[in-house]
Amino acid sequence: MGLNTKKTLRREKPQRGGSSKSHQRWLSDQRQLPIPFGVLGVLGGSSSKSEHEMEVHLKKFETGEAIRFGWNTVRANLGLFIGLTVIVWALTGGAGSVSRHVPGLGLLTWILGAIVSMGVIRLTLKFVDGGQGGLNDLFSDFSMLLDFLGASFLYTLIVVGGMILLIFPGVIWAIKYGYFGYFIVDRKAGAVEALKLSAAATQGEKGHLFGFGLVLLLLNLLGAACLGVGLLVTYPTSLLAQSYIYRRLQSVPIESPIPPGTP
C-alpha cells in the first residue's frame, strides 16, 4: 500500500511537448490527490466546492440592485408606502417629542419604536419574498417583543462601547450586529442568538455594507433636499433595500429586483 501511494504521488507532469490529452489526464490526477499533495491545491486552484463558495461570497449583494428593488417596489405600491412612512414618523417621532415633555414616557416610546421596527421588517420581507404586505403587518405579532427589546439593549451597549473606543470599533460593531432584528422577526431567534446570527451573516461583508449605508444616507439626503417630500419615497426605498440585503446575506436567491407587473 505504501508503494502504491508513492507511485501516485510521484506522477510527473507531462513535458510541454506532450499531448493535450496527457496534460488533461495530469490535471485530473492532481485534483484527485489530497489537497496537501495536489499541485493545483498548493497553487490556490482549490476544489470546485471552494470555487462555488468564493463565487457566492463575491456575489452576495450589489447596492444598485437593492436600491432598484426598493424603488420599483415603492413605485408599484406608492400609496401603501407613503402611508407606512407617515405612520412610522407619526408614531416614533411624535411619541419621542411628547416623551421629552412628559416624564416616564421614554420607556413607552422605546417599546413603541421596537414594535414599529418589527412591523416594518415583517412587511418589507413579505415584498422581498415575492408576497404582499399591508399596514396591518405593523402590529400583527408581539410574540418576539421581549427578545427584540433585549437585543436592542445589548446592541446599544455594544455600539456605544465601541464608540468610546475611538469610534471605529463602534462603526464596525454597528454593522456586524445591525441585522439582529431581522433574525428575531424572520427566524424567531432569541436576543443573543440573533446578535450571533447577524455577526455570522455580515462576516466578510462589512466594507460592502458600510458603502451601502453611505448610499442610503445620500439617497435620503436627496429626499430631504426636495423640501422633505422626497423622503416619502426614499425612506421606504431604503427600508426595502435593507430587507433585500438581509436576504442576500443569507445567500437566498431572489428571482428579480423588479416586482411583477412593474412597467
Would you kindly state where each structural domain of the chain is located, as residue ranges?
2-57, 61-249
**3-state DSSP assignment of residue 59:** coil
Residue 69 has pLDDT above 50, yes or no: yes
Helix H or strand E segment including 219: helix 206-225
Q: In the predicted model, what is the mean pLDDT of the chain?
A: 79
- Predicted confidence at residue 195, as pLDDT, reads 97
CA–CA distance, 25 with 261 (Å, rounded to integer): 52
- Predicted confidence at residue 5, as pLDDT, reads 44
Q: Taking the model in full, what pTM does it have?
A: 0.72
CA–CA distance, 197 with 182 (Å, rounded to integer): 10
Q: Which of 98-102, 174-178, 243-247 has the lowest mean pLDDT?
A: 98-102
When pLDDT is cut at 50, 70 and 90, the band that residue 55 belongs to is very low
Residue 217 has pLDDT above 90, yes or no: yes
What would the mean pLDDT of 68-81 be, rounded to a whole number?
Answer: 96
- Predicted confidence at residue 7, as pLDDT, reads 42
- Predicted confidence at residue 46, as pLDDT, reads 39
Cα angle 20-22-27, degrees, rounded to a multiple of 5: 95
Which region holds residue 166: left if phi is over 0, alpha if psi is between -120 and 50, else beta?
A: left
Question: Do 94 and 260 form a contact (C-beta atoms < 8 A)?
Answer: no
Q: Which of 48-52, 134-138, 194-198 has the lowest mean pLDDT?
A: 48-52
Residue 141 has pLDDT above 90, yes or no: no
CA–CA distance, 136 with 123 (Å, rounded to integer): 9
CA–CA distance, 8 with 249 (Å, rounded to integer): 42
- Could you tell me which residues come within 8 angstroms of residue 131 by beta carbon, excluding any fewer than 6 positions away? none
Q: Which amino acid is at 116?
A: V
What would the mean pLDDT of 154-182 be, rounded to a whole number?
Answer: 93
Residue listed under C-alpha cell 452576495: 60
- CB-facing half-sphere around the CA of 87: CA atoms within 13 A: 19
When pLDDT is cut at 50, 70 and 90, the band that residue 166 belongs to is confident
CA–CA distance, 184 with 113 (Å, rounded to integer): 15
- Predicted confidence at residue 140, as pLDDT, reads 85
The fraction of the chain above a pLDDT of 70, given in percent, is: 69
Per-residue pLDDT tens over the stretch 5-29: 444 444 444 444 444 455 455 445 5
What would the mean pLDDT of 120-126 be, rounded to a whole number?
Answer: 97
- Predicted confidence at residue 54, as pLDDT, reads 36
Residue 194 CB-density burial (10 A; 0-12 exposed, 13-18 middle, 19+ buried): buried
Residue 138 has pLDDT above 80, yes or no: yes
Residue 32 has pLDDT above 70, yes or no: no
Polymer length of the chain: 263
Q: Which of 69-78, 106-115, 125-134, 178-187 has the lowest mean pLDDT?
A: 106-115
- Of 177 and 101, more confident: 177
